[in-house]
Each structure stands twice: as structure tokens, then as C-alpha cells.
Structure 1
Amino acid sequence: MSNITSLFATRLYHAKLSALGAALDTDEFEKSCYAIAQDDEAGQDWCEDNGYPGYTSYASLSDLPWRFPIFADLVKVLDAHVAGFAEDLQFDLGDKTLQLEDIWINILPEGGIHTGHIHPHSVISGTTYVAMPDGASAIKFEDPRLAMMMAAPTRTKDARDELRTFFYAKPAVGDVLLWESWLRHEVPMNMAEDDRVSVSFNYAWG
């Protein structure tokens, strides 16, 4: 009798922000993101200089929770979600905890993409979703073993999620996704006429 098990699992956490804290006012959250983008000239310049579609505060603002109370409220809720995910991952954190390292806004217009990347030097990364209009792109995760699969056939169309080479997660407004920071991911082209707005973040150990 055969015994087939799954090894080296890659975990993806998907939940409503409000599951572990007070619900945030999504309208206020979205307005805050646009107000920050409008005032952040350094971020606008960085996006233009680097050919970045839309806007991100990644390279310009490192203190959003200090500047805006709604981001401080967000971090309190994210802390609870990240702690739960770390427990599921069975991390031995010793006498330290996972702490927010950075948090930033992404405003992706029609036709914009975020190419494949990882988040070095962090433990857990994630995104929460502020605006996801019809046609807005999902987030695409890549099997971390892909580079070693040079002779493997493709998977069937109905393959189980854990066996797919790529997995597309389609979040809704108010959702939070968490994953280990080494997991390569990207945002395919936004096919919606309206902006796709999200807030991404990294947590580090210590």
C-alpha cells in the first residue's frame, strides 16, 4: 500500500482584517492613501525616475503609522494576524517577537504591473487591500522549486492548489494575505479602469 505525503509546505494566510480587530473605515483608508500619494513629492519623483507605474511610498516614507492614526490602527491589527501566522508556521522565536519593519502604499493604475520579486531580510511579508475594482489583478505566487523543475512536465489544469506551479490569490477589500518573505510573487497587469490600491508590509525577527 502506497503512502504519499506532502513535504516542505509553503503556507499562505488569507483572512479578513476585521477577524482579529476592529474593522477599519475603508473609505477613510482609501482617502488617506490618495492624500499621502498627492503630498509625497519624493515618492512621486522616485516612481517617475524608476519607471514605476502609479505610486508607491516604499522608497520615500518609513513612518506611516506615526503620521496617520489609521495606519497605527492597522498595524495593531496586523500584529495579531502575523502572530497567528507565526504560530501556524511553528517558528521558535525564543524571547523575541516579529516586529513591523516597514509598511507602504501601492496605487496601481490601469495597465500597471509589479514584476516578480521577494522581500529579502524579512520573515513575513503581506498585503492588505484597500480598493479592488472589477478586473483588478490577483496576486501571483510562484512555486519556490521552479528553477529545479527543468525536466518536469506541466501540471494538469485541475491540479490541486499545492501542486500548481503558480497560484493566483484573488483578495477582496478588507482582506489580508501573509506569506514567508522568500516566496516569489508578482502582480499581473491591472486590467481594471480604476486603481488597484493596497498596503504592503514586512515583519522582521528581533
Structure 2
Amino acid sequence: MSQIESLFATRLYRARLSEFGDPVDAAELETSCLSIAGDDEAGQEWCEAHEFPGYTSYASLTDLPWRFPIFAQIVTALDQHVAAFAGDLCFDLDERELELEDLWINILPEGGSHSAHIHPHSVISGTTYVAMPEGASALKLEDPRHAMMMSAPPRIKDARKEMQNFVYVKPDVGDVLLWESWLRHEVPMNMSEDDRISVSFNYKWS
């Protein structure tokens, strides 16, 4: 009798940020992100120089949890989510922990997008979602084997999720998504008239 198994799984963790720690005030977090973006001249200049649509604090602010208590609160919850995901991934951490490497704000206006990329030198990456207005783009994840498929025919339109070359995940405000940092991902164009706001982060093995 024939047997087919699924091997070499790519895991995606999705949960409510509030599952760990005290609930984060969504309105305060959104206001904080917008206020920081308005005051961060270095970040604005970097975005303009690199033709980044909207705003990111990735290249300008490295100490958000120290500067703003609400981001420290987020990190307290993220530490627990990442630990849970690391357990699911069966990592042998040799009695060490995964530690926050960096955390930054992303604001994508109407028409803004973030091209496909990975996060080198990190172990787990992810995002928690602050504002996802109607029409805001989902997160697009790419099958990591895609470049090795060579002459393989395309998948049928209604292929099972685990067999698709690209998967789109539409998070809700307050969700946190985690994936291994080698997983290629992108944010397609924001079709909403309002800003798509998120906070992204990387964890490293200390």
C-alpha cells in the first residue's frame, strides 16, 4: 500500500500578543508609532535616501523598548511567544535563550510595499500588527524550495496550502506572527487609503 508523508516542515506561529503579559493598549501603541515617525528625522532621511515608501525606524532607532514603556511591554510578551515557538521548532538551545536583537516600526501608506527579503544572522523573526485597515496587504510567504524547483510545472490554483508556492496570511490587529528568519517574505502593495502599521523584530541565539 502506498504511503505519502510531508517532510521538512516550514512552521508559522500565529497568536494574539495578549496571550502573554498584560494587554497592550492598541490606541496608545498606534499613537506612539505615528508620533515617533513624525519626530524621527534620521529615520525619515534614511527612508527618503533609500526610496522606502512610508516610514521605518529600522536604520535609526535601536532602543525603542528603553525609550518607550509600551515597547518594553511588547518585548516582555514577545519573549514568551518566541520561547514557545522555539520549543515547537525543537531547537536545542544548550540552556541558552533566544534574545531580542532589534525591533522597529513600519508604516506603509497607500501604495507602499516591502519587497521580498530574508533576515540574515537572526534565528526567529516576526511582526505584531498595530493598524490593518480594510484593504491593507497580507503578509506573503514564499516556499523556501522555490528556487530549486527548476522545471517543475506550476501548482493548480486550489492546491492544498502546504503545496502552494506562495501563501498569503492576513493578520488582525493585535496578532503576532513568527517564522524562521531564513523564510523569504514580503508585503505587497497597500491598497488601503490608510496606513498599515506594524512592529517587526529579530531574535538571535546568544
* TM > 0.5: yes
Where structure 1 has 5 or more consecutive residues not aligned to the other structure, the ranges are none
Hey, what does 1:86 align to over in structure 2? 86
Hey, what does 1:35 align to over in structure 2? 35
Q: Distance in 2 between matches of 1:20 and 1:2?
A: 44
Structure 1 residue 17 corresponds to structure 2 residue 17: yes
Q: 1:74-153 to 2 correspondence within 5 Å? A: 74-153=74-153
- Secondary structure of the residue aligned to 1:87 is helix
Q: TM-score, normalised by structure 1?
A: 0.99
Q: Distance in 1 between matches of 2:25 and 2:157?
A: 39
Deviation of 1:112 after TM superposition, in Å, equals: 0.3
Deviation of 1:19 after TM superposition, in Å, equals: 1.5
Hey, what does 1:159 align to over in structure 2? 159
Question: 1:110 is matched by which residue type in structure 2?
Answer: E
Question: 1:123 is matched by which residue type in structure 2?
Answer: V
Q: Distance in 2 between matches of 1:66 and 1:19?
A: 23
Deviation of 1:21 after TM superposition, in Å, equals: 2.3
Q: Distance in 1 between matches of 2:169 and 2:22?
A: 24
After TM superposition, what 4+ stretches of structure 1 lie above 4 angstroms from structure 2? none
Hey, what does 1:5 align to over in structure 2? 5
Q: Distance in 2 between matches of 1:152 and 1:85?
A: 32
Q: Distance in 1 between matches of 2:63 and 2:41?
A: 16
Question: 1:159 is matched by which residue type in structure 2?
Answer: A
Deviation of 1:144 after TM superposition, in Å, equals: 0.5
Hey, what does 1:54 align to over in structure 2? 54
- Secondary structure of the residue aligned to 1:102 is strand
Deviation of 1:199 after TM superposition, in Å, equals: 0.2
Q: Distance in 1 between matches of 2:20 and 2:167?
A: 26
Q: Distance in 2 between matches of 1:160 and 1:205?
A: 33
Residues 63-121 of structure 1 show CA distances to partners (whole Å, capped at 9, x for unaligned) of 00000000000000000000000000000000210000000000000000000000000
Q: Distance in 1 between matches of 2:50 and 2:63?
A: 22
* Aligned Cα root-mean-square deviation (Å): 0.6
- Secondary structure of the residue aligned to 2:81 is helix
Residues 8-35 of structure 1 show CA distances to partners (whole Å, capped at 9, x for unaligned) of 1000001111112221100000000011
- Secondary structure of the residue aligned to 1:93 is coil
Q: Distance in 2 between matches of 1:163 and 1:77?
A: 32
- Secondary structure of the residue aligned to 1:84 is helix
Hey, what does 2:181 align to over in structure 1? 181
Q: Distance in 1 between matches of 2:141 and 2:190?
A: 16
Where structure 2 has 5 or more consecutive residues not aligned to the other structure, the ranges are none
Q: Distance in 2 between matches of 1:165 and 1:180?
A: 17
Q: Distance in 2 between matches of 1:69 and 1:89?
A: 30
